[in-house]
């Protein structure tokens, strides 16, 4: 995540100022705020809406004590965010049912027309007064427009709510009657989908019976008779997905979409460059290229490859070395038994990919480099390079 300079953190942004003004205006004139599609958060939805489904998932396979100790010593970002290092993942999945609802295209919020509130928290980076064009659907829909500002971010799209969505869509009998399952279910998504999202939703529509993927424009308010709203609460922001089974739902969905050959044994060695990223580049990574190439590593920039090729590469990968970054989301496509060396800036250490490697049965080794500076860029010193050289030599000896 990008961080503002210390002097800038005390000055409110234009969005923060706009949000505060809107909040005050909504208190003075709620009816006018509702007319322009600005609603307060329903803090206690069980009083007004039906809880159609609830499930508590927990991963019994906890992080090894050595990894927990490493995080307790070095993952200051995670300790600040979560308060502690959680050795396992927990997730409470809830599916709410709203009668006579509408979905706001510009924020993705789920609104009860009757009670005049929205289920999701009001998001200051998105919530704003806006006139929207009505769009009407008859029947049932599930809202997956999303409220999070990172809805197009690769890691957050795949990890935050997608595992629970896939599970619910493949197990409609757990939350719908047989009669309802025979009727179309509209899956509401954004109109500005990227290629990864387009491919996934196209595959779901082709493989799941009675699922109709429906795009909602940012200028529209979609009115629906019955609306399902997914709400997943995790014990920690760095424990997504909660288990291997949920991760496998994502992996299998994309491998099926791209016709990946499951019989292929892993053999590739990959180094993931972040040279195309705006932040957190390993600035002197070209200095380790000769060492990596000599040990059979391919140097790739994931963001410049078609997603189908990324999935194939990671399905075939045995060893991966990479600076911490969103490209490591592709660990979810690796086969069990692989290895990952993750390179961290000294002042930006958290366990999102350590956890993902853990549930995918991929061995994780951390390498702590220099402190990050402007734009969170960082470097490898001579000592760090020697540690990498030793890692590669141990790897060669084990082959």
Of 84, 65, 64, residue with least CA distance to 75: 84
CA separation, residue 103 to residues 111, 228, 262 (Å): 6, 11, 39
Task: Give Cα 105 to chain centroid, integer Å.
Answer: 20
Does one domain contain both 216 and 262? no
Does one domain contain both 97 and 228? yes
Could you give phi then psi for residue 24, rounded to 5 degrees? Answer: -65, -40
Whether 10 is in a domain gets the answer no
Does one domain contain both 276 and 386? yes
Does one domain contain both 181 and 34? yes
Could you give phi then psi for residue 43, rounded to 5 degrees? Answer: -75, -20
Does one domain contain both 146 and 214? yes
Q: Is 95 exposed, middle or buried (0-12, 13-18, 19+ CB in 10 A)?
A: buried
Whether 75 is in a domain gets the answer no
Site of tokens 């705006």: 278
Tens digit of each residue's pLDDT (9 = 90 or more) over 7-27: 666 777 777 787 778 777 777
Give the pLDDT band of residue 244 (cuts 50, 70, 90).
very high
Whether 383 is in a domain gets the answer yes
Share of the chain above pLDDT 70, in %: 95
Q: Are strands 339-344 and 363-368 parallel, antiparallel or unpaired?
A: parallel
Tens digit of each residue's pLDDT (9 = 90 or more) over 293-327: 999 999 999 999 999 999 999 999 999 999 999 99
Whether 329 is in a domain gets the answer yes
Indicate the average pLDDT of the chain.
91
Whether 71 is in a domain gets the answer no
Does one domain contain both 380 and 272? yes
Q: Is 200 exposed, middle or buried (0-12, 13-18, 19+ CB in 10 A)?
A: buried
Q: Name, in order, each residue with C-beta under 8 angstroms of 93's C-beta and a sequence gap of 6 or more.
A: 53, 54, 55, 56, 57, 164, 167, 168, 230, 231, 232
Q: Name, in order, each residue with C-beta under 8 angstroms of 352's C-beta and a sequence gap of 6 or more.
A: 155, 159, 238, 240
Angle between helical axes of 195-207 and 307-315 (0-180°, round to 10): 80
Report the alpha-carbon distance of residue 218 to residue 190 in Å, rounded.
Answer: 8
pLDDT of residue 28: 84
Q: Is the pLDDT of residue 149 over 50?
A: no
Does one domain contain both 268 and 229? no
Structural domain harbouring 268: 258-398
Does one domain contain both 191 and 275? no
CATH of the domain at 366: 3.40.50.360
Whether the model pTM is above 0.85: yes
Tens digit of each residue's pLDDT (9 = 90 or more) over 46-94: 878 899 999 998 887 899 999 999 999 999 989 999 999 999 999 999 9
Task: Say if residues 249 and 163 touch (Cβ distance below 8 Å).
Answer: yes
Does one domain contain both 227 and 307? no
Could you give phi then psi for residue 50, rounded to 5 degrees? Answer: -90, 130
Bridge partners, residue 378, by sequence = 282
Does one domain contain both 207 and 235? yes
Do you know the residue count of the chain? 399
Does one domain contain both 173 and 135? yes
Whether 314 is in a domain gets the answer yes
Report the alpha-carbon distance of residue 180 to residue 176 in Å, rounded.
Answer: 6
pLDDT of residue 148: 47
Number of domains in the chain: 2
Within 13 Å of residue 56, how many CA atoms lie on the same side as its CB?
A: 2
Does one domain contain both 36 and 126? yes
Whether 62 is in a domain gets the answer no
Give the domain-ending residue among 239, 273, 305.
Answer: 239
Query: Is the peptide bond preceding residue 241 cis, with omega within 30 degrees of 0?
Result: yes
Whether 188 is in a domain gets the answer yes
Give the domain-ending residue among 188, 205, 239.
Answer: 239
Give the domain-ending residue among 210, 239, 268.
Answer: 239
Task: Give Cα 232 to chain centroid, integer Å.
Answer: 12
CA separation, residue 96 to residues 15, 149, 173, 198 (Å): 30, 22, 16, 26
Report the alpha-carbon distance of residue 237 to residue 160 in Å, rounded.
Answer: 9
Report the alpha-carbon distance of residue 323 to residue 272 in Å, rounded.
Answer: 7
């Amino acid at each position: 995540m990008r961080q503002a300079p210390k002097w800038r953190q005390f000055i409110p942004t234009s969005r923060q100022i706009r949000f505060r003004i809107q909040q005050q205006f909504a208190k003075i004139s709620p009816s006018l705020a509702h007319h322009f599609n600005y609603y307060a958060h329903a803090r206690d939805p069980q009083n007004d809406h039906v809880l159609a489904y609830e499930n508590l998932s927990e991963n019994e396979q906890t992080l090894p004590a050595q990894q927990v100790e490493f995080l307790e010593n070095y993952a200051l970002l995670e300790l600040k965010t979560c308060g502690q290092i959680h050795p396992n993942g927990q997730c409470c999945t809830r599916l709410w049912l709203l009668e006579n609802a509408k979905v706001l295209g510009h924020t993705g919020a789920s609104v009860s027309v009757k009670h005049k509130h929205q289920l999701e928290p009001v998001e200051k980076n998105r919530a704003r007064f806006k006139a929207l064009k009505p769009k009407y659907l008859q029947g049932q829909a599930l809202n997956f427009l999303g409220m999070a500002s990172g809805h197009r971010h690769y890691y957050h799209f795949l990890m935050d709510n997608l595992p629970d969505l896939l599970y619910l869509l493949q197990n409609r009998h757990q939350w719908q009657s047989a009669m309802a399952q025979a009727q179309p279910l509209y899956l509401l998504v954004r109109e500005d989908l990227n290629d990864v999202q387009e491919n996934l939703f196209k595959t779901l529509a082709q493989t799941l019976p009675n699922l109709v993927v429906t795009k909602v424009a940012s200028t529209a308010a979609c009115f629906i008779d019955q609306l399902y709203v997914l709400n997943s609460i995790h014990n920690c922001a760095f424990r997504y997905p909660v288990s291997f089974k949920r991760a496998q739902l994502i992996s299998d969905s994309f491998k099926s979409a791209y016709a990946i050959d499951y019989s292929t044994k892993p053999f590739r060695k990959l180094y993931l460059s972040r040279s195309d990223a705006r932040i957190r580049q390993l600035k002197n990574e070209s200095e380790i290229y000769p060492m990596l190439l000599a040990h059979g590593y391919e140097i790739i920039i994931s963001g410049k490859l078609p997603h189908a090729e990324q999935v194939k590469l990671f399905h075939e990968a045995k060893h991966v070395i990479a600076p911490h970054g969103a490209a490591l989301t592709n660990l979810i496509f690796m086969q069990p038994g692989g290895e990952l060396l993750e390179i961290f800036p000294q002042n930006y250490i958290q366990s999102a990919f350590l956890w993902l490697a853990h549930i995918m049965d991929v061995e994780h080794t951390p390498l702590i480099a220099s402190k990050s500076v402007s734009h969170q860029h960082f470097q490898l010193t001579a000592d760090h390079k020697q540690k990498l050289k030793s890692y590669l030599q141990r790897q060669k000896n084990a082959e």
